[in-house]
Structure 1
Amino acid sequence: MTTMNADEARAALHQMLRIRRFEEACAELYGTGKIRGFLHLCIGQEAISAGAVPELRPGDSLLATYREHGHALARGVPMNALMAEMFGRREGCSHGRGGSMHLFDAERRLFGGNAIVAGALPMAAGFALADRMRGSDAVTACFFGEGAVAEGEFHESVNLAALWQLPLLLVCENNLYAMGTALDRSESSTDLCAKARSYGIGAIAVDGMNVAAVRAATRAALARVRAGDGPQFLELRTYRFRAHSMYDAELYRTRDEVELWKQRCPIAALARHAEAEGWLLDQPALEAEVAREVAEAVAYAEAGTLEPVDALETDVTAESGRPA
């Protein structure tokens, strides 16, 4: 495992546990009908959020996909606000109007999960262009799945970002199946870094199940962007242990394959590394702390407020009365 000291390992383990236990609670609550709509879990992919997002500065912008619970938690959005959003409560980070797929927190510069595959990429290029025009040293980080690389928005956005040398970090979370189609069945070339390099930008592939490797690669890529080397592309090779969504019959892969990948669980891998190094991360204490935080978040959400029907058109039209 790439170099990481005991304090950094404990922080990473804590964050990955927060993400996984939050999502496990969401899955259970979805089964009881307390959470409705769409729900996409990143269980198995926690090393990406826990490793990459903390490397961003407060002034940087972050855009993600509909599988963005981990990104929001790692960015510092309170778990109470996230769970309230899952419940559709006004106390949620998007005031109950976004739900699982549209988490938003302007204060923390989390500019939304996006329900459209590759939909965040043009916006991310726009954020980066705006920072460049303002003379800011901020970087925009855009997280997306490998399915987005097949979309026109990816190629258009990367082309313009490379032409204009925008301060943009492109983070591809390659979990091999997009919504439910294997990469080698949807792409004639599965070398995603080669596609990024064809636009003249730096690109490397990283073990996305290794939180320390993700952290180190993200730190190095951000340094290159801030140094004026232009956009950088990270392919983080990962795997989701759960189906694409709660509605997914998951007929495109075998149980044996999933179980094989579970042996590379990023949480267990970090715990094993810590034990080998002689670090006392005290996982039971962290688990207890996280369990209390999740229970508090659920109670907060259940006590939250449903938006009244007469507020249905709030924020739908501009103040002038013209469509927003």
Structure 2
Amino acid sequence: MAMHLLDLMDALRRMTLIRAYEDTLVTLLSQGRAGGTCTSVGGEASAVGVVSALAPEDLILTNHRSAGHLLARGADPGRLLAEVMGRRDGYCGGFAGSLHVSARELGVVLTSTIVGGELGLCTGVALSQKVLDKPGIVACFFGDGAAAEGRFHESLNLAAVWELPVLYICENNEWQAYVHRRETMLGDGIAARAAAYGVDSASVDGCDVAAVFDAAATAADAVRSTGRPFLLETRGYRLRGHLEPDDQAYVDAAELARWRGQDPLDVLRRRLEEAGLAPAELDAVTREAEARMEAAVAFADASPLPDPARLLDTVYA
């Protein structure tokens, strides 16, 4: 097994940028300058921890709550914001919005707004990797809601039978749109389900980026060495509503308050302070992220709208 180390300050920078991006997007939405979107607030440690454990040649498929995964992979916040605002300099020329982003240069094959849609596609991508003898594994992010879909069974079963190099990452954030996980499934988690398919699994605290990284690195190594799938469950909580704007009136206030006490950014900041970093050093990271987002907004605002003549360029029949 390879030795893996996570730079915690770099992790904080990326997690803080993700949070700043989502906060900026919510502000733009309130101003009527962007459309509704599903934020990844509360999932920053899962995104950064897992993506940090991937290799450059690995491929990613993800879902509608994808900004954290894209930014953790190195996406430019200006281009990502331009895409959400429907501008030509976005990753998909302004045609994808926030729910269907593809960034080939980052190895992000697609994001799917269909719940579990990426589960139905990752097996095909992994089969291609295997048949073409390519080195990369396939990382497939999905939520606990998708684990209640038939595609979850179909995907894990096929990946196990065909021995496909898929790292499944279930980001269990306790919410399935506007419905709590407890209302839709029995049992406390998702990871244990993998055993029925002969697939190894692990569950980890999704609010602790270091723990997520360690678990993801171990899981990714297992997929590389065996060529078989692995299911990693990261346990966290969705700190904002399903689709912005959302007042979260359906969320138990006491439960939300408890989980806010485990905010992944605060957890990491406390760890770094205990390691001897001064609060001023950590505050500088926040200012850096805010400055990057100011530049990102300026870039997106300056980007022109797409040419209507190109509307059907990527539509196939």
TM > 0.5: yes
1:77-88 alignment runs, 5 A limit: 77-88=75-86
Change (3 A) 1:74 1:67: same
Quote the Cα distance in structure 2 between the aligned partners of 1:127 and 1:272.
39
Contact 1:47-1:210 at 8 Å conserved across structures? yes
Quote the Cα distance in structure 2 between the aligned partners of 1:288 and 1:191.
37
1:106-117 alignment runs, 5 A limit: 106-117=104-115
Among 266, 269, 272, the residue aligned to 1:268: 266
Match of 1:290 in 2: 289
Match of 1:39 in 2: 37
Quote the Cα distance in structure 1 between the aligned partners of 2:308 and 2:125.
34
Contact 2:88-2:94 at 8 Å conserved across structures? yes
Q: How many residues align?
A: 313
Match of 2:198 in 1: 200
Deviations 1:21-50 (A, max 9, x none): 0100000000111002x3001111110111
Match of 2:303 in 1: 304
Match of 2:167 in 1: 169
Match of 2:51 in 1: 53
1:50-199 alignment runs, 5 A limit: 50-199=48-197
1:275: how far off?
Answer: 1.4
Among 230, 237, 240, the residue aligned to 2:238: 240
Secondary structure of 2:179's counterpart equals coil
1:125: how far off?
Answer: 0.9
Match of 1:320 in 2: none
Contact 2:175-2:238 at 8 Å conserved across structures? no
1:109: how far off?
Answer: 1.0
Quote the Cα distance in structure 2 between the aligned partners of 1:311 and 1:141.
32
CA RMSD of the aligned region, Å? 1.6
Worse overlay, 231-240 or 284-293: 284-293
Quote the Cα distance in structure 1 between the aligned partners of 2:92 and 2:312.
15
Deviations 1:59-94 (A, max 9, x none): 110010010001111111111110111110010011
Quote the Cα distance in structure 2 between the aligned partners of 1:209 and 1:283.
18
Change (3 A) 1:209 1:285: same
1:280: how far off?
Answer: 4.7
- Code of the residue aligned with 1:63 in structure 2: it is L
1:313: how far off?
Answer: 2.1
Quote the Cα distance in structure 2 between the aligned partners of 1:249 and 1:284.
28
Quote the Cα distance in structure 2 between the aligned partners of 1:50 and 1:284.
19
Name stretches of at least 5 consecutive residues in structure 2 with no aligned partner. Answer: none
Match of 2:8 in 1: 9
Contact 1:183-1:190 at 8 Å conserved across structures? no
1:224: how far off?
Answer: 0.4
1:260: how far off?
Answer: 1.3
Deviations 1:132-178 (A, max 9, x none): 11112210000000011111111001001001111100000001111
Query: TM (normalized to structure 1)?
Result: 0.93
Quote the Cα distance in structure 2 between the aligned partners of 1:182 and 1:289.
35
Matched, 1:24 2:23: yes
1:229: how far off?
Answer: 5.5
- Code of the residue aligned with 1:99 in structure 2: it is G
Query: TM (normalized to structure 2)?
Result: 0.95
Name stretches of at least 5 consecutive residues in structure 1 with no aligned partner. Answer: 318-322
Quote the Cα distance in structure 2 between the aligned partners of 1:197 and 1:191.
13
Match of 1:315 in 2: 314
Match of 2:214 in 1: 216
Q: Percent identity?
A: 35
Worse overlay, 305-314 or 165-174: 305-314
- Code of the residue aligned with 1:291 in structure 2: it is E
Quote the Cα distance in structure 1 between the aligned partners of 2:21 and 2:71.
9
1:247: how far off?
Answer: 4.5
Matched, 1:277 2:240: no
Quote the Cα distance in structure 1 between the aligned partners of 2:286 and 2:167.
32
